[in-house]
Amino acid sequence: MAVHDTSHLHGPIDDASGAVPISTAAELVGTTARMLRYREGLGLLPRTQDSPTGRGHRHRRFTEEDLATIGAGLEMEREFDIPPAALAFALRVLAEPELLGRVRRHGERLGRLTAAPARAMDFEKEKAMRLLHGSRLRNRP
């Protein structure tokens, strides 16, 4: 998704990097600051490198790269007609092998997925282990 034209915005862009505050970022990607905060809580925004400074928390600022990443996520949600929580869960499934296995087994039980075929490397590894084990038995005194 392309980031919207920013030439009409006069929001506070006061750091050298050109990063923008959440209200401007929301306008640029076509959503609200509240929805960006919601997406951040779901883990759908890029991690920030900023750390708290001074007596309070430094407000999050969004770079062009952040906006492009957010826009790509929003586009996926629209294209597949899914809510942000569904995209967040999909990312969690991909990141956690145990959860991926549970979802796969559930899909198999439902008949929506076929059992995963044995991988060729696993087969070759098992074959090598059998051959190795067999040669040890033959070479014993």
pLDDT tens-digit readout, 77-102: 999 999 999 999 999 999 999 999 99
Contact 116, 104 (CB under 8 A): yes
SS3 of 23, please?
A: helix
What is the pLDDT at residue 41?
94
In the chain, what are the domains?
1-83 (1.10.1660.10)
Contact 88, 42 (CB under 8 A): yes
What is the pLDDT at residue 118?
61
Task: Tell me: pLDDT of 134 over 80.
Answer: no
User: 41 to each of 18, 44, 45, 85, 88, how far by Cα in Å?
Assistant: 24, 8, 8, 10, 10
Per DSSP, the residues of 105-116 read: HHHHHHTSSPPP
Cβ neighbours around 39 below 10 Å, total: 21
What is the pLDDT at residue 47?
84
What is the pLDDT at residue 136?
60
What is the pLDDT at residue 128?
80
Task: Tell me: pLDDT of 22 over 70.
Answer: yes
Amino acid at 119: R
Task: Tell me: pLDDT of 6 over 50.
Answer: no
Amino acid at 83: P
pLDDT digits (tens, 9 = 90+) for 28-81: 999 999 999 999 999 999 987 655 455 555 678 899 999 999 999 999 999 999
Question: Per DSSP, what are the bridge partners of residue 20?
Answer: 62
Between 19 and 8, the higher pLDDT residue: 19
Q: Which residues have C-beta within 8 Å of that of residue 59, sequence separation ≥ 6?
A: 21, 22
